[in-house]
Every structure is written in structure tokens, then in C-alpha cells.
């Protein structure tokens, strides 16, 4: 089982402007999302190593996700097979599902695991489509200075919109099969996976995998 412990992870507070940025501007309307989020806060680790290459594959992964989502939003095509593929390539959803479920994952049947993963995939797709559904002039800045600790890389970004405070995001990536993929998003110092783990545990306790799948599908329906 993949080790995704969050020990040592914390959100930085009061950090200055991101430097050495790679900028991408979008033209449309934004609510600067909660998950766009899956766009989320600055993440720091104790005494990390640092990668400074603009061509860092972890940075490229986030840039590809960012560009693809804004292109789909401009084309009003966020709920599509193309976006589903983009998200599947960017996120390692099987690993995220495993961590969010926690120790109970080992006790689930193959059918239940597949059902949870499919429900999480539907929710992730709906959440991004909802968060990017309309947007105004907006700039996304990705910091090419990547923090490295052990197997993981931390990529920082900001969503900037006129008249609004920047939204700070932290992406935690790990390499799988030669490709860097997102395994957590940190928003305002809070780990998406840590939050989901608490929510998933409550559903599993109430009614096992069926209750968790039902809860995820209910959340997905609210994002239509």
C-alpha cells in the first residue's frame, strides 16, 4: 500500500509573492473556487530540497492541467470526455481513493473499491466543471521553484483575479510509471485528502462502501 502519510505537511502563512512565475491568463468569469481547489494553498515541508528548473516535470504536469481546464472552460466543454481524460492523467485517483478511505480500503472487495473509485472520479470531474463554469479575466501563476522531499514534489501556484486576494494553491505530486501525478491538493493550508478521509470515514461507518458511494454521488448531483 502506498505510503501517503501527511506527517510534516503544513501550510505556509503570510508568505510573500511567488517569484520566477510562469503565467497563464484566462478570459472569461471566475468565482475563484473552493477546489479549483483542485487548485489550493501554499505547502511547505521541513528542510526540503529545491528544484529550480522551469522544465521540471511536476511543474509541466500542473501547467498542462491548468491550460486544459481553461481551454475547456472557454469552449464551454468542461463536462466532456476530453476533460475526464485530462483529470485522469493529472491525478492518481486510485491512490487518492486508497488514502482517503484509509485502513478500511484493505477490507473492501474489488467490486466495492471499483465503485468508490468510479464515484470519486465522477465527483472530481463534476467539481472542476462546477468551479470553472464561468470565469472573468484571471491569471494563474505557477512557481517553477519546486520543493522536493523524499518521493514527493510540491508545486505552488496562485489564482489572481482583479479586486480579489490571490488564492494560494499547493499540489503534492509523486512519480508513477515515469509520470508525475497529483496525489493531494492543499487549499488554505488544508489537505483535500485529510478532509476527505474524515468525511469518508463517517460514511463508511454508517453503511460501508455503499453509503460512501451514495454520499459521493449526492455531492456530485449538487454540482450539476
pLDDT digits (tens, 9 = 90+) for 62-116: 999 989 988 898 888 999 999 999 999 999 999 999 999 999 999 999 999 999 9
Q: Domain for residue 170, yes or no?
A: yes
For residue 62, the model assigns a pLDDT of: 94
Highest mean pLDDT among 16-30, 51-65, 94-108, 161-175: 94-108
Q: Domain for residue 4, yes or no?
A: no
Q: What CATH number does residue 115 fall under?
A: 3.10.450.710
Residue 17, pLDDT above cutoff 70: no
Q: Domain for residue 3, yes or no?
A: no
Q: Domain for residue 6, yes or no?
A: no
Q: Domain for residue 43, yes or no?
A: yes
How many domains does the structure of the chain reveal? 1
The model's pTM: 0.76
Q: Domain for residue 119, yes or no?
A: yes
Residue 176, pLDDT above cutoff 70: yes
Residue 10, pLDDT above cutoff 60: no
For residue 204, the model assigns a pLDDT of: 95
Q: Is the dihedral of CA 174, 5, 199, 110 positive or negative?
A: positive
Model confidence band, residue 3 (pLDDT cutoffs 50, 70, 90): low
208, burial (CB in 10 Å: exposed 0-12, middle 13-18, buried 19+): middle
Q: Domain for residue 89, yes or no?
A: yes
Q: Which residue range forms the structural domain that includes residue 84?
A: 16-221
Q: Domain for residue 204, yes or no?
A: yes
With pLDDT > 70 as the criterion, what percentage of the chain qualifies? Answer: 74
Residues with Cβ within 8 Å of residue 112, at least 6 apart in sequence: 208, 209, 210
Amino acid at each position: 500500500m502506498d505510503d501517503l502519510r501527511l506527517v510534516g505537511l503544513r501550510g505556509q502563512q503570510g508568505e510573500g509573492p511567488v517569484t520566477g512565475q510562469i503565467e497563464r491568463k484566462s478570459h472569461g468569469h471566475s468565482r475563484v473556487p473552493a477546489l479549483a481547489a483542485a487548485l489550493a494553498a501554499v505547502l511547505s515541508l521541513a528542510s526540503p530540497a529545491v528544484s529550480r528548473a522551469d522544465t521540471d516535470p511536476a511543474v509541466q504536469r500542473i501547467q498542462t492541467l491548468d491550460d486544459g481546464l481553461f481551454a475547456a472552460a472557454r469552449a464551454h466543454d468542461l463536462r466532456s470526455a476530453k476533460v475526464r481524460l485530462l483529470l485522469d492523467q493529472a491525478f492518481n485517483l486510485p491512490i487518492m481513493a486508497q488514502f482517503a478511505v484509509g485502513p478500511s480500503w484493505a477490507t473492501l472487495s474489488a467490486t466495492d473499491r471499483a465503485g468508490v473509485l468510479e464515484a470519486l472520479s465522477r465527483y472530481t470531474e463534476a467539481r472542476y466543471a462546477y468551479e470553472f463554469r464561468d470565469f472573468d479575466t484571471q491569471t494563474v501563476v505557477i512557481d517553477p521553484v519546486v520543493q522536493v522531499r523524499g518521493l514527493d514534489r510540491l508545486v505552488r501556484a496562485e489564482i489572481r483575479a482583479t479586486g480579489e486576494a490571490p488564492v494560494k494553491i499547493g499540489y503534492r505530486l509523486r512519480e508513477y510509471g515515469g509520470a508525475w501525478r497529483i496525489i493531494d491538493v492543499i487549499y488554505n493550508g488544508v489537505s483535500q485528502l485529510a478532509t476527505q478521509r474524515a468525511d469518508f470515514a463517517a460514511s463508511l461507518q454508517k453503511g460501508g462502501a455503499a453509503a460512501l458511494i451514495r454520499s459521493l454521488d449526492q455531492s456530485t448531483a449538487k454540482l450539476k
